[in-house]
Amino acid sequence: MGAAPDYIDDGSSFFPIDPLSINPESLADFMLYERFDLDKGNFRFRCLLKDTADVPKERLIRLLQSWDVVYVHRRQRANYIKYAEDNLEFILKHEDIDEKKKSLTLINLSAEVVKETLSVNFAVAGDIGRVVENIKILITRAVDFISGIESLKGIAELVGHDYETHTHSIKVGWLTATFINANQDLFHVETKSELRDLMIQGAVAGFLHDIGKVKIPRNVINKKGRLDNLEYSLIQAHTAYSASLLFESDLPHSCMQTILYHHENEDGSGYPCGLSRDAIPLIAKICHIADVFDALTSKRSYKEAKTPFEALTIMTGENPNLEILKKFEAEAREIRRSPVTATVRDDYDKKLKRLREREIMEEEARKRVEARVKLRDRGMAHCFDKDLLRRFILTINQSESFDLSGLL
């Protein structure tokens, strides 16, 4: 077998992995490289191991333990992802891999499968079913890790990072499963396997809750800035789209309910059905809390991330302007045209006049949406079940990564 060539590269063609994530019992079909600094921001990548079958197992274990970090060429990324998915339980149970690295591995692999859902061809029967099956396999392999308190410390590391649809969905799924594990008394489960099933359902629903956003126009999803009333209504349609896209995928009924109702509010002011209190399924309420918590604590192009304490202060706060807020929300649902209050004087030119009217309307719509968001940030307690929100705070407080005692 010939030697693998060295590469001189600025580093962008390779990605680092933890050598301990290689399972000596399972052969890897990608090469491992070490990296040397060169000048002008370049590196030399030298092949350490071309084939894990080339060395005896005992020597392989010693080698893997002696390296701090190794690199894989991006051309072999798909091989590595498949390998890590197949060996996920090995990685998550490895005593010498630190919890943060395990969490990152799980997040990265989850991101791969969730990204796949965003690119699936929904017109081809079976495609979505295959992707959902991959998500279930991944979560089933990770559920024991998610059951441990250490996983909560891992996710705590990620709170506050940039918002991306797939990482957001993963965190929501993870938080939902963690909540279920920490609050077993809320569910009528008698065996460990029933609890595992419930956690898997919660995580799967979290991973897929926003899949319907693939049907919303990209310029609305990616809009930098506040949404106007029409755009806001389009966004609201994503829950129904999510349920519709997954309708034939054989997901359990509770998963479908969680996905459809994850924006329902406790007081009936949510969407798509305006359900309230006991009419909202329990896991949908939990998913809603996890969803809002992660959205508020993530950085977006138009806002800084709130700290968990700030986010939960908003979520537990009674809104002094609740009636006005409800009026705004109702108007948004009806896609009411914003009134033109300014007088348009450029009537010598009809085209210009229409343009100015439109500008004024858009400006008014923008102000109304801004006002709505500002009002919402005064307090969201009406959106959530109080007991569940308190339990959520207790659950994430266990990670000891944040001090939330002032909220309890």
Residues near Fe ion (CB under 5 A) are 210
Minimum Å gap between C-beta 36 and Fe ion is 46
- Is 104 in contact with 153 (CB distance < 8 Å)? no
| Cβ proximity to Fe ion, 242 vs 397, nearer residue | 242
For the chain, the first-to-last Cα distance in angstroms comes to: 64
The Cα 102–Cα 151 span in angstroms is 8
Q: Write the CA distances from 47 to 3, 4, 7, 35, integer angstroms.
A: 8, 6, 9, 9
Minimum Å gap between C-beta 262 and Fe ion is 6
- Is 213 in contact with 114 (CB distance < 8 Å)? no
| Cβ proximity to Fe ion, 210 vs 228, nearer residue | 210
- Copy the structure tokens of residue 61: 């274990």
The Cα 261–Cα 134 span in angstroms is 24
| Cβ proximity to Fe ion, 112 vs 210, nearer residue | 210
Minimum Å gap between C-beta 214 and Fe ion is 12
| Cβ proximity to Fe ion, 82 vs 226, nearer residue | 226
| Cβ proximity to Fe ion, 210 vs 364, nearer residue | 210
Minimum Å gap between C-beta 399 and Fe ion is 24
Minimum Å gap between C-beta 259 and Fe ion is 9
- Is 202 in contact with 174 (CB distance < 8 Å)? no
The Cα 70–Cα 68 span in angstroms is 7
Minimum Å gap between C-beta 242 and Fe ion is 8
The Cα 282–Cα 278 span in angstroms is 8
Render 278-295 in DSSP notation, one character per residue.
GGS-HHHHHHHHHHHHHH
User: Dmax over Cα atoms in the chain, in whole Å?
Assistant: 87
| Cβ proximity to Fe ion, 52 vs 169, nearer residue | 169
| Cβ proximity to Fe ion, 18 vs 210, nearer residue | 210
Beta-bridge partner residues of 9: 43
Minimum Å gap between C-beta 128 and Fe ion is 18
The Cα 243–Cα 254 span in angstroms is 12
